[in-house]
Amino acid sequence: MKKLWGGRFTASADDFADSFGASIHFDYRFAPYDIQGSIAHAEMLGATGIIAQDEATTIVEGLKTLLQRLTRNELEFNPKDEDIHMNIERHLTDLIGPVAGKLHTARSRNDQVALDFHLFIRDNLLEVVRSSLTLQHTLIEKAQANLDVVMPGYTHLQRAQPVLFAHHLLAYAQMCQRDIDRLRDLWKRVNVLPLGAGALAGTTFPIDRKLVAKLLHFDALYTNSMDAVSDRDFALEFLNASATIMMHLSRLCEEIVLWSSGEFGFIELHDSLSTGSSIMPQKKNPDFAELIRGKTGRVYGSLMGLYTVMKGLPLTYNKDMQEDKEGVFDTLDTVLGSLRLTADMIRTLTVKPGTMRKSAAGGYTNATDAADYLAKRGLPFREAHEVVGKLVRHCIVHNKDLNQLSLEEFTAISPLFEDDIYQAIELETVVNRRTTQGGTARSAVTEQLQVLHALQNETQRWLQERAR
């Protein structure tokens, strides 16, 4: 098959090298974006008189026909044509004849692929925001449904202080918010038009880049042609934001694994999102939580892979940059799938309030409040800390919880203790006294919910403004 760029060459490409260098087996995902960008480019060529208006119309109609065929899965791509750009041009040539060759006027594959990449990430960035918003909404709903459930909070995976289960879930809802904020900020650098940069130096044709930007809904133009074709910061930022999303999901999934174990017993996963054992009939495994935790590594790998590809490249385009796409494609699929499954797990899991409360009541999680009790009666907190430490040691020796001690046992260690110590260290009291902004008291958690609802509404408006 004759190459569309083959005029300078006297020998045909080696078959293995041809296959090794082809990218159509993965960059076919750019097809709708390549056609979309080509339609805008052709309309601009006609509007500026660079090609005749009737030629531009013929090209645009041909491209729209190809887009319809693509939608019906009727376009076949040939590895001999290397990449999606040459495949689309070949199909267009077969459809409308030699006039298709005028489409590539004032354009290079270098700025063309950069455009496709921007369009692809821009479109799918919105999908990741939507999926993150869905997970956030699911966490908020589960928190609202369990607003009075008390559980132990942990440091070093040791029981530390009692918190509301809702408070714990909303910590992940806040992580979702930061993920959304990062993606929204990235929009500014994704929604920049590279087309018009040519191979690297611009073009001699009187193109109208602002018209193309308007047609394709870009907010800005690259102002340096060399930067336009060689920049992949936007892809790295997308991978970085995705890696952070996966880190957050991995942390949540680790807790799901722990909470669903017999040792914790805080939750039970729905049967549809669990698996069994081929040999042990009793098993109910949190496989999907574990799998998301594991898939985090492949997203990290894609991020480091692209950083490594880009680290030593001179300006401008180099064939190394063909390696910029597969990791992004895989990351997108991984992140969207992981967000969906995590939301499904949270929505369908069963909470076990009794087990959570029993665990929160053990482990001396109210010890800090006993120390606060003494500090409020004038004892320096460091001394109060030591006194309560002695109380805990006494409890360990006698196999008691703090609220099981007699008043005589309290006063034997500090005369500042009075009858009201029992109310002060009651679990619900401990939780609901933490009314500071961001605290775990029911009132503070209700405030968090209100803030998150407002943020969700604002994100929905942002998405609607960018719907094409």
Active site residues: 156, 277
Residue 49 makes CB contacts below 8 A (sequence gap 6+) with: none
Pairing between strand 220-221 and 192-193? Answer: parallel
Residue 297 makes CB contacts below 8 A (sequence gap 6+) with: none
Residue type, 18: D
SS3 43: helix
Residue type, 45: L
CA distance linking residue 244 with residue 13, whole number of Å: 42
CA distance linking residue 147 with residue 441, whole number of Å: 10
Phi, psi angles (nearest 5°) of residue 250: -65, -40
Closest CA to 246 of 324, 345, 171, 342: 342
CA distance linking residue 66 with residue 341, whole number of Å: 35
Quote the distance between the C-alpha of residue 346 and its chain's center.
Answer: 17
SS3 252: helix
Q: Is 60:35 a contact under the CB 8 Å cutoff?
A: no
Question: Which two three-digit tokens encode residue 447?
Answer: 């405030």
Question: Which two three-digit tokens encode residue 103?
Answer: 């489409």
Strands (E), 109-240: 150-155, 158-164, 192-193, 220-221
Q: Residues 437, 439, 440, CA angle at the centre, nearest 5°?
A: 145
